[in-house]
Structure 1
Amino acid sequence: MKFVFALAVVLSTFVLTYGQNEQAPMVEKEIAYKDWIYKNVQTGTDMNLRKLTVGKKLVMVAYFAPWCPNWKHDAPFVQAMYEKYKLNGFDVVAIAEYDPVESMKAHISQNKFTFPVVWESDARTAKQTTSHYEYRRAVGDTRNWGSPWYIFLEVDKLEPAGLVMTKKASIVNGELIRPDAEKFIREKLGLKAEAAGVSTAGAIEVCEPEKKATALAKPATPPLH
């Protein structure tokens, strides 16, 4: 009986630890991703995606909800990748969703983002009306909020003109698997591979705004370079 109880505890811990983990592999998908113009969160000025890609090799578009713990886990890594590779032709633009603009501003300030952040929606009631929802569902993302969600645009493969910028792209339906993401970025920038770092443990929570989530242990991930 004690053995059965101990086994149940181990299994429940495993489910909580890994079941709530939203890390996802990078996969290439057919997706008619369109050009857009959104307001910059901090300045209120219009930003156009196609213009942002000029002179770049690879652009990562990151959709996120500021209150989402899964995004909060990824945010430092996204910032680090931007700073590390921005002079090599890499760019990041983040699209904030489902939160008031003032909350978005506070989130940017708290995380010290140096990449541009625009916004598409400013209320959680807009969840099923956004292009974010449309795109992620089109490529098989069945999560409730879908934060974070990434699409990588290889600039030399983009359509030269028109509303649809690409019909195929690499996407991530969840948190980035850090070694894989950095390897992909380096490859697309034409950089040599780096040696793998030493693993460290992090924490993960459920991306759910209606109820407070309990922090859970996250599988080991390499440190930022």
Structure 2
Amino acid sequence: MKTLFALVFLALSFTALFGQNEQSPIVEKEFAYNDWTLENIRSDSSTNLREFTAGKKLVMVVYFAPWCPNWKHDLAFVQGLYDKYKDNGFDVIAIGEYDPLDSMKSHLKDNKLTFPAVYESLLRTDMQKTLHYNYRKATGDMRKWGSPWYVFLEPANIEKSGDTISKRANVVNGELIKDDAEMFIRAKLGLSVEPKKVAVSEKEIEVCEQEKKTANLVKP
């Protein structure tokens, strides 16, 4: 009986450790987010952020690692936001991290992701060398890999020249809280804010911070 109890306890502990989403609210943070020019994942061309934001009302930059389960939890929702609001002045640009370029290309194609995508790094060993790492740590993100990580830019408020594009921005240190994210986007686009939908329970996923202890995981 004791053996059975121990096995059940271990199973529950394993589920608690690896079966948690990492949703996080949209919060405004003060940090210097710089302009960048990065290579596109799908082609040999490059994209400049300041030029990309021109003429838009709201741009959502999302940093992601293709292999991270937490990002896989968000990607369909992000694609849905892009499809729904791209004609209202909203745009998405994804920044790939910590994976080979071929893997990133396959990831976009296999998941039918059509929003623009560039990349900053190609190796997991570069994790602490990236601007992604510096930015998210500056905003209080304590996760190991920080995938996904979001920053919302309002082109009307960004710096028109210089290295720094924004000194304050709304960020998400984790997965999007879907209803809150959509309400935020609609408000920034000047659209009527729809009432929250009835919450639907979602299947818990394995987090990509597997090395961390439970106490360090970011919970909803």
Same fold (TM over 0.5): yes
Instruction: Tell me if the contact between 2:65 and 2:98 (Cα under 8 Å) persists in the aligned partners.
Output: yes
Q: Which residue of 1 aligns with 2:94?
A: 94
TM-score if structure 2 supplies the norm length? 0.87
More strand by share: 1
Question: What is the correspondence of 1:110-189 to structure 2 with a 5 Å cutoff?
Answer: 110-189=110-189
Q: CA deviation at 1:196?
A: 2.2
Paired-residue identity, %: 60
Unmatched 5+ residue regions in structure 2? 212-218
Q: CA deviation at 1:197?
A: 2.0
Amino acid at match of 2:146: G
**Runs (4+) off by over 3 Å:** 12-15
User: How far apart, in 2, do the equivalents of 1:70 and 1:110 lie?
Assistant: 17
Question: What is the correspondence of 1:59-98 to structure 2 with a 5 Å cutoff?
Answer: 59-98=59-98
Amino acid at match of 1:29: K
SS at match of 1:144: coil
Amino acid at match of 1:88: N
Instruction: Tell me if the contact between 1:67 and 1:209 (Cα under 8 Å) persists in the aligned partners.
Output: no
Q: CA deviation at 1:208?
A: 4.2
Instruction: Tell me if the contact between 2:18 and 2:210 (Cα under 8 Å) persists in the aligned partners.
Output: no
Question: What is the correspondence of 1:194-213 to structure 2 with a 5 Å cutoff?
Answer: 194-203=194-203, 204-208=205-209
Amino acid at match of 1:45: S
Tell me which of the two structures has the higher relative contact order, counting C-alpha pairs closer than 8 angstroms and 6 or more residues apart: 2
Q: What are the Cα deviations for residues 96-118 of structure 1, in whole angstroms up to 9, with x where unaligned? A: 00000000000000111111010
Q: CA deviation at 1:201?
A: 2.5
User: How far apart, in 2, do the equivalents of 1:93 and 1:183 lie?
Assistant: 19
Q: Cα gap change, 1:117/1:144 in structure 2, threshold over 3 Å: closer, same or farther?
A: same
Larger deviation, residues 194-203 vs 13-22: 13-22
Amino acid at match of 2:169: A
User: How far apart, in 2, do the equivalents of 1:196 and 1:88 lie?
Assistant: 20
User: How far apart, in 2, do the equivalents of 1:84 and 1:20 lie?
Assistant: 28
User: How far apart, in 1, do the equivalents of 2:210 and 2:59 lie?
Assistant: 29
| Aligned residues between the structures | 208
Instruction: Tell me if the contact between 1:41 and 1:105 (Cα under 8 Å) persists in the aligned partners.
Output: yes
TM-score if structure 1 supplies the norm length? 0.85
Q: CA deviation at 1:16?
A: 1.2
Unmatched 5+ residue regions in structure 1? 211-217, 220-225
Instruction: Tell me if the contact between 1:149 and 1:173 (Cα under 8 Å) persists in the aligned partners.
Output: yes
User: How far apart, in 2, do the equivalents of 1:86 and 1:118 lie?
Assistant: 18
